[in-house]
Amino acid sequence: MNASSILLIEDDPHFNSTLVELLSEYYRVVESAASAAQALEIAKKRSFHLLITDIRIAGQIDGVGALEAVKAIQPRIRSIIMTGYADLDVPIRAARLHADDYLQKPFALSALLASVRSVLERESPFRGLFQKLIQAPGGATQKALRLFFDAQWQELNQARDACLQRFFVLTRAQRLDREQAYSSFCRWEELEMENLRAGSPQQWSALAHGYADLDWLTFPRRTSQTLPRNLFMQLYQKIQNGQVESIHLHKAIQLLHIPEARRENVESYCTYHWLWSDPEAQEDTFKGLTVQGYVLKTRRNGAAGQARLYEAKHQSDQRKGHLVVALPVSADSDSLVDEELASGRAMLLQTHIGHHFLLYRSHALSLQFNLPAEGVSPGEAWKLLRPVFMQVASYHKEGKFSGCFSLSDVECLPGEPCQLSNFSDKPYRQQHERLHQGGTIPVEFYSAPEIHQQSAPNQASDQAVLGRLLFEVVYGGSYPDPATRMHLRFLGTPQANEHLRSYVGRLAPLTQAFYRLCHSSPSQRFPSLNEAISTIDAILAQT
């Protein structure tokens, strides 16, 4: 069962109880309210990962107003809007509040579960499979370093994300008709191609205004020679049907126009086919297939024939959430599979029936998805992470280092200490190589900061990653705001220290230990991980 917490607002008693019963089968905390006022009182007492609200609810405030009020208290909460009414204004209001999805009633309960899963998994639980990547303008490492603190670059990406989310919600709400959507998306294509070529603050600033000014509803009619209407209409229908998730759209234009980007990794290969391949009408012959003990149960909607994605269970282990990707054997997929296996992100179950079957372990087992939304105290965080620190220290004795792992790599099995399920230097080395080749920059920032200058990780690199995990656990697996994860990589510089000043108080009494672990300069970290462990143990023993 997923530890994510959900707040539901629905004033129909029967439908309310039906949804609570359904969601409680999959998520540990589900609380419901019949009005915005009632939901607000609940939200003042505890934090939630997700708000699901109907539009027409009891009281003077409707569902969008409820979302606005709850977000004022919990800015990081995600949201799904439900409605059975064709109100033209509601989708626009929901899009302005950055709602994550929009469901038209009546909908199948399976569609709601798929939407909830998609929204809650948006933080990329499977590193290398759904990770958001962006193109580094100019391709030079020094420019890449400068990006993180450049105000114009941050403004550009915030405007871009907000623009894309508006398009997704308006399309899901059926507020954009096909011609409106196509005309506007042609303009989006132009902006995206400019973005891939941009390399200066002046260009980033102009692009940010371009994204902010893109009005999906009133954009003049236009076409594109590089985005055929029939191809876009397939994508449009996939979005309306729930077959494409908003996170997939971030690389849609890049993958469509740059063949090399599709061969970057398994994630890019899969995403390209999920977005742009023809919809399949034939029966799925793999459903129910058993591959090395794993039964392929449900095919995810977004999976195309060239990249099928299944939820799977092992015959002797009924825990949910394992994923299996089936890729046809080909020259392209063979090399991508080899790279994915070398990175340690996936395991090859079998090459069978002309397909490679890759296993990604259940995100439901990870610490990322077993943290309360409000986070935990520093003492509780240390209880969870100390076994991981000890495990990494034992790897150091063997001369092994990683420099690149995340909370989703930390398994949290009931009754057992947390342990890393993946410890490899391959992801670090690959990212370093891509950076110096002018490739992509990992937005999720799983690697140690010195990846820009240092080709291989060392024990200090793992300290930086573990210190970041400590911060994330205290904050419930996320960040107070998007800029914090960028500044965390430059801890020790005046600008980063100033930004983090208002957030590190929650780490007391471990604040100073955290600063040493995460310092952007490896020479300022602890001499060894064992010394860091001893220091933290001593601090907490005195409190």
For residue 445, the model assigns a pLDDT of 66
For residue 171, the model assigns a pLDDT of 95
∠ CA(218), CA(222), CA(224), 5° rounding? Answer: 135
* Beta bridge partner(s), residue 441: 134
Closest C-alpha among 85, 41, 42 to residue 64? 85
Q: Which of 302, 332, 365 is the last residue of a domain?
A: 365
Within a domain: 128: no
On whether the CB atoms of residues 27 and 2 are closer than 8 A, the answer is yes
155 and 118 inside one domain: no
Q: Which of 336, 365, 394 is the last residue of a domain?
A: 365
What is the distance between the alpha carbons of residues 166 and 150, in angstroms, rounded to a whole number?
25
- Model-wide pTM > 0.85: no
| Domain CATH for 61 | 3.40.50.2300
265 and 309 inside one domain: no
Which residue intervals of 173-245 are DSSP H helices?
Answer: 178-197, 201-213, 229-240
What is the distance between the alpha carbons of residues 97 and 162, in angstroms, rounded to a whole number?
9
345 and 395 inside one domain: no
Closest C-alpha among 43, 64, 46, 47 to residue 55? 64
**Residue 203 DSSP SS3:** helix
**pLDDT (tens digit per residue) in 34-77:** 999 999 999 999 999 999 999 999 999 999 999 999 999 998 89
231 and 269 inside one domain: yes
145 and 227 inside one domain: yes
What is the distance between the alpha carbons of residues 150 and 208, in angstroms, rounded to a whole number?
13
| Domain CATH for 526 | 1.10.510.10
Number of domains observed in the structure of the chain: 4
Within a domain: 492: yes
488 and 521 inside one domain: yes
Within a domain: 352: yes
314 and 463 inside one domain: no
Within a domain: 500: yes
How is residue 484 annotated by DSSP?
Answer: H
For residue 411, the model assigns a pLDDT of 86
Within a domain: 115: yes
**Residue 14 DSSP SS3:** helix
pLDDT tens-place values along the chain, 543 residues long: 567 899 999 999 999 999 999 999 888 889 999 999 999 999 999 999 999 999 999 999 999 999 999 999 998 899 999 998 877 889 999 999 999 999 998 999 989 998 998 888 765 433 333 333 333 333 443 444 444 446 677 788 889 999 999 999 999 999 999 999 999 999 999 999 999 888 777 888 999 999 999 999 887 888 999 999 999 999 999 999 888 888 889 999 999 999 988 988 888 899 999 999 987 656 688 989 999 999 998 888 778 888 999 988 888 876 667 889 999 999 888 999 998 887 777 889 999 999 999 998 776 678 887 888 889 999 999 999 999 999 999 999 999 999 999 988 898 877 889 999 889 998 888 888 877 775 444 444 689 999 988 999 999 999 999 999 999 999 998 888 878 888 898 999 999 999 999 999 999 999 999 999 999 999 999 999 999 999 999 999 998
For residue 4, the model assigns a pLDDT of 84
Q: For residues 241-265, b (16+ Cβ closer than 10 Å) or e, as one string? A: ebbbbbbbbbbbbbbbebeebbbbb
302 and 398 inside one domain: no
266 and 355 inside one domain: no
Domain that holds residue 252: 133-276
What is the distance between the alpha carbons of residues 238 and 232, in angstroms, rounded to a whole number?
10
344 and 248 inside one domain: no
CB atoms within 10 A of CB 368: 24
272 and 322 inside one domain: no
Residue 462 to residues 279, 466, 472, Cα–Cα distance (Å): 43, 6, 15
Indicate the pairing of strand 78-83 with strand 101-104: parallel
Tell me if the bond preceding 106 is cis, omega within 30° of 0.
yes
Within a domain: 127: no
For residue 2, the model assigns a pLDDT of 67
**pLDDT (tens digit per residue) in 438-488:** 544 444 468 999 998 899 999 999 999 999 999 999 999 888 887 888 889
Q: Which of 230, 249, 276 is the last residue of a domain?
A: 276
Contacts of 317 (CB under 8 A, 6+ apart): none
Within a domain: 399: yes
372 and 511 inside one domain: yes
What is the distance between the alpha carbons of residues 189 and 193, in angstroms, rounded to a whole number?
6
Within a domain: 285: no
Closest C-alpha among 350, 358, 356, 303 to residue 334? 356
What is the distance between the alpha carbons of residues 295 and 98, in angstroms, rounded to a whole number?
37
